[in-house]
Chains A and B, each alone.
Chain A
Amino acid sequence: MEDLLKPDYGVLVLTVCNFLLLVYLLKKFAWNRIIGGLEKREQQIADDKKQAQDARSAAETIKRELDEKLSQISDEAARRMAEAVKIGETQKEQIISAAREQSERLLEQAKAQIEAEKNKALCEVRDEIARTAVLAASKVVQQQMNETSAKSVVDRVLEEIKAK
């Protein structure tokens, strides 16, 4: 059993040579390819990841810009809407005021016209009455009255008409 711990230097040297040769050959014929392929794929994944991150950040930038523009457009629309409402209100007031003024003016005109027509009618009536009275007076005068009595009669008739 003590042979178990007795080193065999031949085996030792052969194992060292065997192992180091195996390391060299495997490095040359296997590991370089496997590790190279692995690193290449890792690099590709890292590049893809970076590209995806760049694309994401670009998309986020575009989204931010669009949001900003949308916000600006919303503000502008709200501002213009408020402006339009204000203009509308002003115009409404102006139209209403103009309409009111016009209606008042028309009313005044109508009143004036009515007054004028009334006065005109009164004058005509007065003239007609006077003419009729004159006519009547002339007829009375023609019949028996003098000019003075005729005038007093006409004045009395006119007074009565005014009193009515």
Chain B
Amino acid sequence: MDVAEIISHHILDHDWGVTLSGFRIPVTTHTVTLLAVSLVLLLGLHWISLGRQSRAGRLLTTLMEEYVLFIRDGIVLPNMGKEGKTFLPYFCTLFLFVLCSALAGLIPNMKTATANISVTAALALCSGGLILYCGLKFHGIIGFLKGFIPSGTPGWLVPLIFPLEVVSMIIKVCVLAIRLFANMLSGHMVLICLLLIIFVVGQMHIAAGAGALLPAMGLELFMTCLELLVAFLQAYVFTLLTSIFAGSVIHTH
């Protein structure tokens, strides 16, 4: 097994091969991780929302209220205005879902689901759907389409600008998916590569492998901490950009 195969094996999604009447059910490592994350989030947040009187319950309730305030006052309201309050549950869920999916990869035997282009594309698709919904809800179909034409554009430029703006919006949504995927993937690739240093050097000489152990582990630890930071950062960026794009559709030129 060469290095590329090892890296692919650790990063690529693995299909569990579940079929129902010949129809493939997409039960893969990443989808199972996502389902586990969803279940934990659902049960955990439901428990917190019940407002337990225990010390841990109160602490977690306060923590979640602070989190909601952060999403509402830091992301949704500044970018979408008061119209965005309706979508607060969506953004609260989005941030936690992206964050927990990324953090799940740091748990042994679990994978970072957001290092899968299909998963990030699905999330971007949901964000795209939200943007579309916002545009149609607040401006109607004509108003939404008009929003793609900047005010003051000469009539003869409209046929050129309109498709450009539409493509620009589609690209923005696609970039959401690619950014998250690339960041998560690259972090995990680096982590695996650092671990592989030990084995690659060890194949040359066992003593060299042992010598590379400590530096490689130190770097691994550093990169893991960095991955933690990146997980929070990417969850924030994904949520923030979604709200900005949705806000730009609600409050057109």
Contact = CB atoms under 8 A, between A and B. Distances in A.
A5 B118 CA distance: 9
Interface string B38-61: 100110011011110000000001
B185 interface: yes
A4 B35 CA distance: 21
Contacts of B51: 33, 37
B217 to A, nearest CB: 26
B88 to A, nearest CB: 6
B89 to A, nearest CB: 4
Interface string A75-95: 000000000000000000000
Given A20-B126, A23-B90, A34-B65, A8 B45 contact: no
Contacts, number: 122
Interface residues of B: mostly helix, strand, loop or mixed? helix
Contact of A19 (B28, B61, B68, B123): B123
Interface string B180-213: 0000010000000000000000000000000000
Contact of A23 (B93, B118, B119): B93
B26 interface: yes
A30 B118 contact: no
Given A23-B89, A29-B46, A18 B31 contact: yes
B64 A34 contact: yes
B126 A11 contact: no
B41 to A, nearest CB: 7
Contacts of A12: 118-119, 121-122, 125
A160 interface: no
A11 B125 contact: no
Contacts of B49: 29-31, 33-34
B interface residue count range (under 10 / 10 to 19 / 20 to 34 / 35 or more)? 35 or more
Interface of A: 1, 3-16, 18-23, 25-27, 29-35, 37-38
11 contacts: A11-B122, A14-B26, A15-B118, A22-B38, A26-B41, A30-B46, A33-B50, A34-B65, A34-B68, A37-B51, A38-B69
Contact of A13 (B26, B64, B97): B26
B92 interface: yes
